[in-house]
Amino acid sequence: MLKEIKEIQRQIEIASMVYEKPNFYSEFELAELFKTSPTTIRRDLKALRTIGADIHSRKNKLVAYFSIRNLNKLISSYYAISSPLEFKNLTLLKNKFKEKTLSMFINILKAIRDKHEVQLIYRFSPESEKYTKIIYPIYLIDGGKSFYLITYENHDLKIFRLETLEEIKVLKTRYKIDIPPLAEIFRNSWGIYTGGEEIKAILKFNRNMDGYVDQKQWMTEQEVEYVNDGIIIKMKVKLSYEFVSWVMGWGDKVEVIAPVKLKEEVLRRASSIIKKYNESNKANKRPLLLVT
């Protein structure tokens, strides 16, 4: 097993070197660098091609072209075998699924790998009724606090939190659909949910946020502009509950410049919060919060 892991690590390292420096390495130079034979390097290149890595020789020098999907596959594979994964909410899942925890993950991942239909039994909350669906599982992703199963149901995209599942049954029937890249599914989405109207958000942050907000690529389509009294960030994003919550989380360190509907939603929520606390303070005979 250790030998196979080392082979996969070497193959991905070869891919990274060739991708970074096209027309630089030959099979013989790689063999010398990795202290192995040219025959082994040829086997490594063949193995990379079988997973979709477009890597080939041009005048005895190697060139590589990777799609986003294959680049993701190479990075995630290397990460998985090189660094131990720690899932934040695994304890919560184990409390629910108990001895079925491992088989739950295995069954889902096998169904995704082999493109098998799956029957899910789930409920939205512990008190709600159970629902049954036949779905096509396409991705399982770690959203930080929860795992999410990305699926198709009758060609409509559906997302399930793993905690909502009661039972999963892998069916014998297979599905045949073109699976879009994950980046395409979540294009311009903020967080895990894919809905919401697409907007061009313009946010102005305080200059003391320099290094906190301007150095991170929040969205694919993003611009950063430095002005005398702040940092302007423009981004194309879907207007969602998650995004508005993120904006409000910065408090008075950010101002919404555009669009108007984003500004109005922030004001509506802020007013609702103040009203709630004022009602609570009034009931407890405390001073009311003032808005100036």
| pLDDT(2) > 80 | no
State the pLDDT confidence band at 102, using cuts at 50, 70 and 90: confident
**pLDDT digit string (tens) for 74-86?**
888 888 888 777 7
Examine the pLDDT at 291 and tell me if it is beyond 70. Answer: no
Task: Tell whether the model's pLDDT for residue 281 goes beyond 80.
Answer: no
Residue 124 confidence (pLDDT): 84
Supply the mean pLDDT for the chain: 89
Indicate if the pLDDT at residue 292 is higher than 60.
Answer: no
DSSP-assigned letters across all residues of the chain: -HHHHHHHHHHHHHHHHHHHSTTT--HHHHHHHTTS-HHHHHHHHHHHHHTT-EEEEETTEEEEE--HHHHHHHHHHHHHHHS----TTHHHHHHHHGGGHHHHHHHHHHHHHHTEEEEEEE-SSTTSPPEEEEEEEEEEEE-SSSEEEEEEETTEEEEEEGGGEEEEEEEEEE---PPPPHHHHTTT-SSS---SEEEEEEEEE-GGGTTTTSSS--SSSEEEEEETTEEEEEEEEEE-HHHHHHHHHTGGGEEEEE-HHHHHHHHHHHHHHHHHHHHHHHHTT-PPPP--
* Averaged pLDDT, 110-115: 92
d(CA 214, CA 179): 33
User: pLDDT by residue (tens digit) across 231-274?
Assistant: 999 999 999 999 999 999 999 999 999 999 999 999 999 999 98
pLDDT of 184-238, one tens digit each? Answer: 888 999 988 888 899 999 999 998 888 888 888 889 899 999 998 899 999 999 9
Q: Which structural domains are found in the chain, ordered by start?
A: 2-82 (1.10.10.10), 90-180 (2.30.30.520), 186-282 (no CATH)
